Copies of this chain bind each other. A is one copy, B any other.
């Protein structure tokens, strides 16, 4: 969940209501679940404990009108998970926000970078 500072660019956290927020961590987790079909696997990719991944999913599921992640509790796909339509929509909107924001600040980003000390030596 700790969005790292290793790659340059923006980290955007959206506080929708007091204590209800979505940021890079939750977005990456949703994307991981979409790709791996598993909350555990998505969490592992992010070096997140299973408990932490579950807690984040439950918190997201609880604050939207319908859940973002659906889990299969039985049968062959036991333990599997997918994004619901709402989950896909939230992820798409968030990624769009990141992109829009990145474009909107590109010029300022260059201005800030010019003020940085040269660390390349």
Residues of A whose CB lies within 8 Å of any CB of B are 3, 5-23, 62-65, 86, 89-90, 93-94, 96-97, 100-101, 103-105, 108-109, 111-113, 115-119
Contacts and interface: CB of A to CB of B under 8 A. Distances in A.
A108 B100 contact: yes
A11 B15 contact: yes
A13 B109 CA distance: 11
Given A63-B119, A64-B116, A101-B101, A18 B14 contact: no
**Number of identical monomers bound together in the oligomeric complex:** 2
- Name A's interface SS: mixed
B65 A116 contact: yes
Contacts of A117: 62-65
A14 to B, nearest CB: 6
B8 A18 contact: yes
A97 B102 CA distance: 9
Contacts of A100: 101, 104-105, 108
A45 to B, nearest CB: 20
